[in-house]
Each structure stands twice: as structure tokens, then as C-alpha cells.
A and B are shown apart, each in its own frame.
Chain A
């Protein structure tokens, strides 16, 4: 059974600082997603990582994937308040025809002015 773990679960950081959220998964995956969720809102797609070594960046967020280590990271650079949200990673197993994603527990990020 695929297990997806994120850490930390909660993160408070000051504006302007850098930090990294980690997503570990237990079995081979061919695709990994990062989502953002604001309180009471839906999930917003941030990144889809499709191969080992993939790196994608959007604004102050950068995601990377190491399939050999079964690890993805979401790096936040010079955090600003509007990045406060819960961030989820989701993992897809390479099972032809099955598009099921398994989500991590989420990391609740709070940016303090």
C-alpha cells in the first residue's frame, strides 16, 4: 500500500525567510503533484512533476522530484504572507489505466509578518 508522508505538518515562518516542505512516498511513482488549499477553499494545482530530476518553478515556489529517493520538495523563497495556505503533495502509482492519486497529510504553512 502506498504511503505518502509530508513534513512538517505545521510550519510558521517569518516573511522573507526560506524553507522547504518534504514529501516522502513508499513505493515507485511516475508522477507527483503539488496542490495549494486556502482555508475553506478548493485545491489549486501548483505543479505536476513527471520525471526524475524534474524541477518546476512558479514565483517564490519551486518543486523538485527525486524518484530514486522517493522524495519531492517544495521550496519557498523569501516567503510572503499570501503564501499562507495548506500544501499537499499527491502521488500516482505507475499502474496503467489507473489514475488514482494518493494525497499526503498536508503541510499548513503560516507566514508571519
Chain B
């Protein structure tokens, strides 16, 4: 079992550029979550999907952020345009039917 896979692991970009983060959940998990972690705000849920359908996007900061899950094995989180305050570690997690969430290794995003 490869676990949750995220790419890229590190991303450095300039303000105003588009950033796309990718996630492959664990096979068979039916829920997928995107989190953001910063020193100031801690760990925040941005959005989550159940059976590829967005269920709760109340944590998405603003319209610059969008997320998709076109199929059960792939999701993207896009930021357009990116800003320095978006710098954070972005985690993807997937969940089993027994409620346990497994986190990916994260993407460390730096927006200059």
C-alpha cells in the first residue's frame, strides 16, 4: 500500500502564478480531504469530497482557490492567482469507512 500520494512535494512560485497541487488517495477510500497547515492558523480543513462529490468547502479561503476530484483516484487543488499569504504546507488525506484519516506527505508551497 503506497499510502496517499501528493505532488509536487515542494513548490516555489512567484506571486500571481497559478499553482496546482495533486493528490492520489489510497485505493478504496471514499473520502478525500484537503488541509492547509501554517504556524499562525494551525491545521485547517479547506474542502472535502465524498465519492468524488464536494461536501464541505466552507474552509476554502476565497475564489482564488478551487478543487476538483474528477475520479476516485485523483484530486487537484488549484490556486490562481497565488499570493505570498498562501505559503503553507498543504496536506491531502483520505478516509476509510472506519473513520480513520490517513495523511499524505504534504506539499510545501512558497509564494514569493
Chain A contacts to B: CB under 8 angstroms? 31, 33, 35, 41-45, 48, 50, 88, 92, 97-106
Contact = CB atoms under 8 A, between A and B. Distances in A.
B55 A45 contact: no
B91 A43 contact: yes
Given A31-B99, A43-B91, A48-B99, A101 B104 contact: no
Interface stretch (B15-23, B41-49, B71-79): B41-49
A99 B104 contact: no
Interface residues of B, number: 22
A101 B56 CA distance: 11
Contacts, number: 50
Contact of B48 (A31, A45, A99): A99
Nearest to A45: B100
Contacts of B99: 31, 48, 50, 92, 99
A104 B102 CA distance: 17
23 contacts: A33-B100, A33-B101, A42-B105, A43-B93, A43-B103, A44-B103, A48-B99, A50-B99, A88-B43, A92-B99, A97-B55, A98-B55, A99-B31, A99-B33, A99-B50, A99-B56, A100-B56, A102-B45, A103-B42, A103-B43, A104-B42, A106-B42, A106-B43
Interface of B: 31, 33, 42-45, 48, 50, 55-56, 91, 93, 95, 98-106
A104 B98 CA distance: 21
